[in-house]
């Protein structure tokens, strides 16, 4: 690396350092003066830093790969409030702040919608954390001291601008896990938004936490100020699997 590139890197001008030869060639070709050259450097560094900031937030979000809403079949569910979904995707709820709860049987795209809400939040400059209910509670429950637990609670409650908790309702949890989830919801209550996905209506949440005294209070804090979006219909994944089996059978015949 040349001394100039090293100094640019030290100053944090990484994009300029990486593209220095091309920048010099372009400045020479276009006969830029000092002001034009500085404007070009400033513009490209700003774009590069914004890009790297999004990449860092995406990495920290634990979002992983996702399918965009362009692939969502709006015509498949028997019932879906598209206006409410699009409002959530536009992040209207984050300004209040409020929660979004997606209630649907398995295979109707609630996780896909939640992932796209999270992705849009990252693109808009928010810090986001995506996790499943089981991962969240396993992490919190594994802390071996009150201080360690408090640190992890801060990770979920204060560091993430948007917390997405996927798949509430697929497993049952004991009273301690219910208390841990209650702490997360309570600490974020009316301060920072949560997006939840669940396969069960709230009337059946007591089956998730059958012995928890805080179950009703937990539900109250989740649904207060919340946009509750119910999706009804048959599993889209099941339909795709059946169509795939039919196609394989047709090819064999």
pLDDT tens across the length of the chain (253 residues): 588 999 989 999 999 999 999 999 999 999 999 999 999 999 998 999 988 988 999 999 999 889 999 999 999 999 999 999 999 999 999 999 999 999 999 999 999 999 999 999 999 999 999 999 999 999 999 999 999 999 999 999 999 999 999 999 999 999 999 999 999 999 999 999 999 999 999 999 989 988 888 988 999 999 998 999 999 999 876 666 666 666 666 676 6
**Count of residues making up the chain:** 253
CA dist 209 and 222 (Å) reads 15
Residues contacting 170, CB < 8 A, separation 6+: 133, 134, 199
The backbone torsions φ and ψ at residue 174, rounded to the nearest 5 degrees and listed phi first, read -80, 180
Assess whether 77 and 43 both reside in one domain: no
Looking up residue 180, the CATH number of its domain turns out to be 3.40.50.300
Give the global pTM. 0.86
Its sign, for the CA torsion 60, 65, 70, 71, is negative
The domain of 13 spans 3-60
**224-236: buried (b, 16+ CB within 10 Å) or exposed (e) per residue?**
eebbbbbbebebb
At residue 206, the 3 state secondary structure works out as: helix
The candidate with the shortest Cα–Cα distance to 229, out of 196, 190, 189, 207, is 196
Contact predicate 123/220, CB 8 Å = no
Number of domains in the chain: 2
Q: Are residues 38 and 131 in the same domain?
A: no
The domain boundary residue, chosen from 15, 38, 60: 60
Per-residue pLDDT, 241 = 65
Contact predicate 222/101, CB 8 Å: yes
pLDDT of residue 240: 65
Which H or E element spans position 102?
strand 100-103
Q: What does the pLDDT read at residue 1?
A: 59
Based on the fold, state whether residues 191 and 86 are members of the same structural domain. Answer: yes
- 120 in any annotated domain: yes
219, part of any domain: yes
The answer to whether position 249 is within a domain reads: no
Do 78 and 98 lie in one domain? The reply is yes
What is the pLDDT, as a whole number, of residue 2? 83
- 32 and 136 in a single domain? The answer is no
246 domain-assigned: no
For the chain, the straight-line distance linking the first and the last C-alpha, in angstroms and rounded, comes to 64
DSSP code at position 69: G
Q: Does 251 fall in a domain?
A: no
27, 38 Cβ separation under 8 angstroms: no
114 and 197 in contact (C-beta within 8 Å)?
Answer: yes
């Amino acid at each position: 690396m040349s001394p100039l590139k090293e100094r640019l890197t030290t100053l944090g001008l990484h994009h300029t350092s990486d593209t220095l030869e091309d920048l010099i060639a372009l400045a020479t070709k276009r006969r830029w003066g000092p002001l034009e050259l500085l404007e070009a450097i400033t513009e490209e560094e700003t774009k590069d830093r914004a890009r790297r900031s999004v990449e860092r937030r995406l990495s920290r979000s634990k979002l992983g790969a996702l399918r965009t809403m362009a692939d969502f079949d709006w015509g498949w569910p028997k019932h879906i409030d598209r206006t409410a979904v699009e409002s959530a995707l536009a992040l209207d709820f984050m300004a209040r702040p409020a929660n979004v709860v997606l209630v649907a049987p398995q295979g109707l795209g609630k996780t896909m919608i939640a992932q796209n809400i999270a992705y849009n939040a990252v693109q808009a400059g928010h810090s986001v954390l995506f996790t499943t209910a089981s991962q969240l509670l396993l992490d919190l429950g594994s802390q071996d001291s009150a201080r360690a637990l408090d640190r992890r609670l801060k990770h979920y409650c204060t560091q993430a601008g948007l917390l997405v908790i996927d798949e509430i309702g697929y497993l049952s949890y004991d009273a301690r896990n219910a208390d841990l989830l209650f702490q997360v919801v309570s600490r974020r209550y009316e301060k920072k938004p949560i997006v939840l996905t669940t396969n069960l209506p709230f009337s059946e949440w007591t089956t998730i936490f059958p012995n928890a005294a805080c179950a009703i209070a937990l539900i109250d804090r989740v649904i207060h100020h919340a946009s509750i979006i119910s999706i009804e219909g048959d599993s889209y994944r099941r339909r795709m699997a059946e169509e795939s089996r039919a196609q394989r059978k047709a090819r064999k015949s």
